[in-house]
Amino acid sequence: MKQEFDKTKALNAMLYVANRIGRKDFHKVFKILYFADRQHLANWGRPITGDTYIAMDAGPVPSRIYDMLKIVRGDSYMNDTEGLGEYFKVEQWMYVNPLQDANLSKLSKTERDELDDAIRRYGQMPYDEIKEISHDVAWQSTARDFAIKWEDIAREAGLDADEIEYLRECNQLQTSLS
């Protein structure tokens, strides 16, 4: 099951989260996005960002969002040709400092609801606790530094084999129509 990355949604989801939590380090932002993407997939048949989550030592990491942060931080092989630095800064190597709030018109009500729920559930958790929770079966079944399959994320969210097959078929149909 392939998901389509939506850079606009990803940027706005990241800004939404970073503007609503206390500790804005990469780890916390990444985990909240993971849990929100996972739950939105389970409830609505698609994730919010469509990013590829990599099974890193500290848990799932959204690879393209991480790339955007590294571009602004200045340690990417890519330059900030799209003006990401107008939206946020990276401070002390690992803290997201949003310079503006998310454009709420770019996030649906269901997406904002799942982001709010993930913020409520995980936003106050200490590093070790959220790390342990994110080391779920989807993460555990993936070799370190490889992409976690969306099927595994859907299974972790509670979908059964028939529901996952239905999502796969819908995804294939949508891909063939675009």
Flag whether pLDDT at 1 surpasses 80.
no
How confident is the prediction for the chain on average, in pLDDT? 94
Residue 120's pLDDT is 98
Torsion of CA 165, 138, 118, 13, to 10 degrees: -80
Question: What percentage of the chain's residues is helix, strand, coil (to nearest 5)?
Answer: 55, 10, 35
In this structure, which amino acid lies at residue 49?
Answer: T
Q: What is the pLDDT of residues 146-165, one digit of tens each?
A: 999 999 999 999 989 999 88
Contact status, residue 3 vs residue 172, Cβ threshold 8 Å: no
Q: What is the pLDDT of residues 2-61, one digit of tens each?
A: 788 999 999 999 999 999 999 999 999 999 999 999 999 999 989 999 999 999 999 999
Tokens of 123: 């936003």
